């Protein structure tokens, strides 16, 4: 990528897309094209076709998606598979039609089988059954990977796929019905501290293991791979180590400064027992994460306390 190239970041308002925009701007890229979902409905084939024909971007980061936690994924199953397949199919196809030099499709670690060996190697894709609660979303993302590979094989398109692990950072979603575990914990402990609540209830047993990557590290990895990765298949983006939900809750409790009790509601689902990425392929390309978890959560919470978010919870 050259600084004068036109770069379309789909989903620029989300945590992933906004981090990619920040990373591009950090290196002096200013010719960045964005559209809000109100300005451009990526589910609408005609609208996406008109957008690409008009803008003719050189590079595309496909970070737009319908996302959510366990409850959202399990409740809105039809929405998750339909909307994500429509978004990625329209963008990928129009990128091919309009001679985009390179497209990066961003997926999720939930694409891997529920009981796949740990850590999760890229080769484990489609080797077993998926986690039932987020199967529709995972199938949509798998379709995106295979679509990029198919357009590469048939048309010679330089379309690549990356699979970030669990992310956190600026512009995260703190809606308790739709958010992921880390932002949900931050909000729960913050509210409990402000309201003087005697306890905070965390879903599940606390035993599942999860890996967490700061969005700025994720964006840096995407920026790096956009310059250095030109193959089919996919690349995991993660830190290579994980933490139990119980230990994560204890860490967030400490960072927030909450002094009440921690209770685990074992009637609620745990989800996948473990989801640790094998990042040896990523390391082989010469990139490693830099932001430690405690440092990252501390900085995120410091920002939240000075933002309007703290007034909304």
Spatial distance between the Cα atoms of 56 and 155, rounded to a whole number of angstroms? 18
Relative to beta strand 159-164, strand 102-106 is parallel
Query: Is 112 tagged catalytic?
Result: no
Residues placed in the known binding site for NADP(+) = 11-17, 106-109, 141, 164-167, 180
Question: Which residue in 107, 104, 125 sits closest to 116, CA to CA?
Answer: 125
Contact between residue 90 and residue 43 where contact means Cβ atoms under 8 Å apart: yes
Residues placed in the known binding site = 11-17, 106-109, 141, 164-167, 180, 188, 203, 210, 270
Torsion (CA) 171, 172, 177, 182 in degrees, nearest 10? -160
CB under 8 Å to 130, separation ≥6 — which residues?
Answer: 110, 111, 112, 113, 114, 138, 139
Q: Please, where are the H alpha helices in the chain?
A: 15-26, 45-55, 70-75, 77-97, 135-155, 181-195, 215-228, 245-256, 280-284, 293-305, 309-312
Residues placed in the known binding site for substrate = 188, 203, 210, 270
* DSSP type of residue 120: B
How would you list the strands of the sheet with 234-237, edge to edge? 32-33, 7-10, 59-62, 102-106, 159-164, 234-237
Strand partners for 4:
none
> What number of residues does the chain have?
313
Of residues 96, 137, 151, 258, which has the active-site annotation? 137
Active site residues: 137
């Amino acid at each position: 990528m050259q600084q004068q190239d036109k770069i379309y970041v789909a989903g620029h308002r989300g945590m992933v897309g906004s981090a990619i925009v920040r990373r591009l701007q950090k290196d002096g890229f200013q010719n960045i094209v964005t559209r809000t979902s109100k300005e451009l409905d990526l589910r609408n084939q005609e609208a996406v076709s008109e957008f690409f024909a008009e803008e003719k971007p050189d590079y595309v980061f496909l970070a737009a998606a319908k996302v959510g936690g366990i409850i959202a994924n399990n409740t809105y199953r039809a929405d998750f598979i339909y909307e994500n397949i429509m978004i990625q199919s329209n963008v990928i196809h129009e990128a091919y039609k309009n001679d985009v030099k390179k497209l990066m499709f961003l997926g999720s670690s939930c694409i891997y089988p529920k009981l796949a060996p740990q850590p999760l190697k890229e080769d484990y894709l489609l080797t077993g059954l998926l986690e039932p609660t987020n199967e529709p979303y995972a199938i949509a993302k798998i379709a995106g990977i295979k679509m990029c590979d198919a357009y590469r094989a048939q048309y010679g398109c330089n379309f690549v796929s990356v699979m970030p692990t669990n992310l956190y950072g600026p512009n995260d979603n703190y809606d308790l019905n739709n958010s992921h575990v880390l932002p949900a914990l931050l909000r729960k402990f913050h509210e409990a501290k402000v309201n003087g609540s005697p306890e905070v209830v965390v879903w599940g047993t606390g035993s599942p293991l999860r890996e967490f990557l700061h969005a700025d590290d994720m964006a840096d990895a995407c920026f790096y791979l956009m310059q250095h990765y030109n193959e089919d298949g996919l690349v995991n983006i993660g830190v290579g180590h994980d933490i139990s939900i119980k230990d994560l809750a204890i860490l967030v409790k400490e960072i927030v400064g909450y002094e009440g009790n921690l209770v685990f509601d074992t009637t609620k689902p745990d989800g996948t027992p473990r989801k640790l990425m094998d990042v040896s392929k990523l390391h082989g390309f010469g990139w490693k994460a830099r932001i430690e978890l405690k440092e990252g959560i501390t900085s995120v919470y410091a920002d939240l306390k000075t933002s309007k978010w703290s007034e909304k919870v």
